[in-house]
Structure 1
């Protein structure tokens, strides 16, 4: 039997408050979540519900206060070496060209220079940056920098791809192009993907399953939906289909009250 790529079992994460020492804050609690090998799973929920916390747990960057984490059946006790992480914020080193940014991970792994150069150039071509390897981040548009970050993640050929709202800062046209590029690359490689997003349309258009988290504190899954829309998909075209609209209505009916709770909590914090 094949083990899930990611398996979180009864996970909880509790932190000591920076603002009030001695006070504890439970971000997520009673979270059980699996991502199968080759499966694309999105997690959605209100702002501040702990979505990124779960991603950091799966990456091995955060040890849960309770529960267990298994990667392909093995307990995770350190950094998840089988995962690549694409962050929401800029991850490119500004003093390195696009090619040198993509090369960095390969160099760290000790890949021979000629082979590393070839792999970096190959991935730059795959993400549409074949002629831009010598450009520095400040010479690239936001979409180009995201493509370079994607190549930087995928060149290491991870078995698991962790993505934390990677396209949220892009304009809608560039965002849709990037979403389709990710889907095309995923379709060819079929890696396990855990994708964090606040955009329900994006989650439905891209995923095999969508998991909904409650508002925090002590966020936990309150719904799970199988996205039974045929692949391959175009994220713009799929949104016009009746099944997409049915799924959107069903998931939003579960999310709506939690989003309102989360919004009210943000207002209270700001007051």
Structure 2
């Protein structure tokens, strides 16, 4: 099967803005493949380059070496077949919830009445029916994340890129959002590349978990198939013996890298 997204031997090296003779390799010799309909999570120490890989897959960052293919075709410029849900809020404060949700459709010059109809449908799907006229400052953090989710999915992308989208939420809201994402994903089974620092979240949601090393020169050091049955409730699945077993296996690989990353941050500080 042709991968939905294939990062082939990617390296990303940056030049220091203070000293152009200094270079920093954030990601080195990394290959990553996501099949159509597959939910893949990437975990690793803080600052190891997880978001860098996501930006490469989105076409927002050109790798120093290597190539990116989308459904077998070389990626040139922005990945038009992908939707990107950012860690930080990307809602426009001067637009209502509905106007934020349909912004992408408007940029694509979709008929306004059709766009508004779809926007209302997606607000209902994420549990925000009747909140379309609210502005971001009038919504809770969880509600704003629901708007951002609808904003991403309304464009019906073939690939969904998610960069720690729920990290700022409280645990109860977070689990509700995780279950909502899984329910929406299961309906159409799009390819998902999910970046998270939360190993529990990665296991509960994914088909496969990839572990990255500490930087510099981040690269995959472990890959685990998550053979838990679906559908899943992210809270209930955590008590399953197989979940605990998988967590122990993955943490045994991830633990040393987290400690390395922590020590590197201490030195940098």
TM-score by length of 2: 0.99
| Corresponding position: 1:132 with 2:127 | no
Provide the C-alpha distance between the structure 1 equivalents of 2:166 and 2:19, rounded to a whole number of angstroms: 34
Aligned residues: 269
Give 5+ residue unaligned stretches, structure 2: none
Secondary structure of 1:260's aligned partner = helix
| Corresponding position: 1:12 with 2:11 | yes
Query: 1:69-120 deviations in whole A, cap 9, x for unaligned?
Result: 0000000011000000000001100000000001110011011011101100
Query: 1:163-214 deviations in whole A, cap 9, x for unaligned?
Result: 0000000000000000000000000010000000000000000000000000
Aligned to 2:241: 242
1:261 CA drift (Å): 0.2
Aligned to 1:188: 187
Aligned to 1:233: 232
Secondary structure of 1:268's aligned partner = helix
CA RMSD, 1 decimal: 0.6
Provide the C-alpha distance between the structure 2 equivalents of 1:78 and 1:69, rounded to a whole number of angstroms: 10
Give 5+ residue unaligned stretches, structure 1: none
Secondary structure of 1:176's aligned partner = helix
1:19 CA drift (Å): 3.6
| Corresponding position: 1:121 with 2:120 | yes
1:67 CA drift (Å): 0.6
| Corresponding position: 1:215 with 2:206 | no
Secondary structure of 1:20's aligned partner = coil
1:21 CA drift (Å): 2.6
Provide the C-alpha distance between the structure 2 equivalents of 1:246 and 1:136, rounded to a whole number of angstroms: 44
Aligned to 1:157: 156
Provide the C-alpha distance between the structure 2 equivalents of 1:8 and 1:63, rounded to a whole number of angstroms: 11
TM-score by length of 1: 0.99
Runs of 4+ more than 2 Å apart: 18-21
Aligned to 1:69: 68
